[in-house]
């Protein structure tokens, strides 16, 4: 059997000495894979790059076979994308997330919107907002669409300014004001409002990233590194010096010799809300979180024989501030940037899962004015 279509190349891997297996998002036939004979030749290498648009024919004896692709270029974008880190981040995001689509099921809306993003990718003020909208569409196409039309609590369509991370629904200003610290801010451009600004685009990526991780990547055990949020706006190259790395202060960690006594101090004396103790064997601590309106206090007690907190308490028997934790949008990108600037990442540089169930890294205190710094994936 045989069919013809147009498509966007998502990924390429070598096969044998001279061929390649190509993953393509097509308009009429969905995400499809096929063998390109001679795909590693000098003439085909520039064509077989992620982000390029091609005309193609697919042929196989049976439908369930891998089949063979014959490709002709329509538009070769990879050359001018790869020279710009921000645009490359956008391409990696789009191509990577597209591979979560089921094979051989048409998704014309996703294809057309993705093509719009790639065709606009030379306009650094436009493509990030289009990519955020594309991610919204991808969530909807996969059955996890957000409902931004009316308030989840009241049903009102007026003053929708928040998004609930639990339901994926909009929340009005009045209904959400008391819980605003736990809600996402709803960018107006996602609900048909004004043009997007950089802050709104960043918030849009926070929202789509959260729900994509929750519903799409995490259930599949995927560790997709989202790079597009690193540099959303700027000139033709990524101005990394102007990009913010740190997000909000997640918590201040205090080592205590007696966790139960420390928890009672905050709960009974200071009247704070205190969580139950939570053992973290991988980090050698038991933790309790003290909830504050704008951040948290983490109380740490040694757990196990090799706890790093034990040595700290030997030097500070009464306890004391052990580290501060900041959120970052992309922990791997933050790590790479810090290492490039000479900072030392503890523990071999590979993230561990922290008490919040998210990846964390620790930075050497001698590089940060004597303060142990923890980075946590936002």
Residues annotated as catalytic are 374
Q: What are the start-end ranges of the H helices in 99-126?
A: 108-119
**Measured distance CA(26)–CA(5) in Å, rounded:** 6
DSSP 144: -
- SS3 of residue 162 by DSSP: strand
- Residues with Cβ < 8 Å from 316, sequence gap 6 or more? 255
Question: Residue 102 in contact with residue 77, Cβ under 8 Å?
Answer: no
**Cα–Cα–Cα angle for 161, 139, 86, rounded to 5 degrees:** 80
Region at 284 (left for phi over 0; alpha for psi -120 to 50; beta for the rest): left
Question: Residue 285 in contact with residue 228, Cβ under 8 Å?
Answer: no
Helix and strand element counts for the chain (H, E): 9, 17
Residue 126 Cα to chain centre, angstroms = 20
Nearest to 204 by CA among 223, 225, 188: 188
Q: Which two tokens stand for residue 241?
A: 């010096």
Question: Residue 246 in contact with residue 328, Cβ under 8 Å?
Answer: yes
Neighbours of 201 (CB within 10 A): 24
Nearest to 87 by CA among 147, 128, 46, 52: 128
Describe the chain by its helix, strand, coil percentages, rounded to 5: 35, 30, 40
CB neighbour class for 251 (10 Å; exposed up to 12, middle 13-18, buried from 19)? buried
Q: What are the phi and psi torsion angles at 34 (to 5°)?
A: -165, 165
């Amino acid at each position: 059997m045989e069919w013809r279509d147009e498509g966007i190349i998502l990924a390429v891997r070598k096969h044998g000495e001279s061929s390649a297996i190509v993953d393509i998002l097509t308009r009429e036939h969905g995400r499809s894979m096929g063998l390109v004979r001679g795909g590693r030749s000098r003439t085909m290498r520039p064509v077989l790059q992620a982000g390029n648009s091609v005309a193609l024919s697919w042929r196989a004896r049976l439908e369930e076979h891998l089949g063979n692709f014959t490709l002709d270029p329509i538009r070769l974008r990879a050359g001018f994308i790869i020279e710009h880190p921000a645009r490359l981040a956008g391409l990696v995001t789009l191509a990577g997330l597209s591979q979560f689509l089921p094979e051989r099921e048409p998704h014309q809306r996703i294809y057309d919107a993705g093509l719009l993003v790639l065709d606009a990718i030379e306009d650094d003020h436009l493509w990030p907002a289009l990519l955020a909208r594309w991610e919204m569409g991808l969530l909807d196409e996969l059955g996890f669409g957000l409902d931004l039309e009316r308030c989840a609590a009241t049903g009102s369509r007026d003053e929708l300014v928040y998004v609930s991370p639990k339901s994926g629904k909009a929340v009005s200003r009045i209904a959400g004001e008391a819980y605003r610290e736990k809600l996402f801010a709803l960018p107006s451009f996602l609900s048909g409002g004004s043009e997007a600004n950089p802050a709104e685009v960043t918030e849009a990526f926070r929202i789509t990233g959260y729900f994509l991780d929750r519903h799409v990547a995490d259930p599949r055990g995927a560790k997709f590194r989202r790079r597009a949020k690193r540099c959303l706006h700027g000139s033709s190259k990524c101005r990394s010096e102007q990009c913010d790395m740190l997000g909000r202060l997640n918590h201040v960690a205090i080592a205590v010799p007696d966790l139960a006594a420390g928890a009672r101090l905050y709960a009974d004396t200071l009247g704070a809300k205190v969580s139950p103790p939570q053992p973290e064997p991988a980090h050698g601590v038991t933790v309790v979180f003290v909830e504050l309106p704008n951040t948290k206090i983490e109380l740490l007690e040694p757990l196990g024989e090799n706890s790093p907190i034990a040595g700290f308490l030997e030097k500070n028997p009464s306890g004391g501030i052990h580290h501060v934790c900041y959120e970052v949008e992309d922990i791997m990108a933050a790590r790479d940037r810090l290492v490039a600037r000479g900072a030392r990442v503890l523990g071999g540089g590979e993230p561990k899962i922290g008490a919040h169930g998210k990846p964390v890294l620790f930075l050497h205190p001698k590089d940060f004015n004597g303060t142990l710094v923890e980075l946590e994936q936002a």
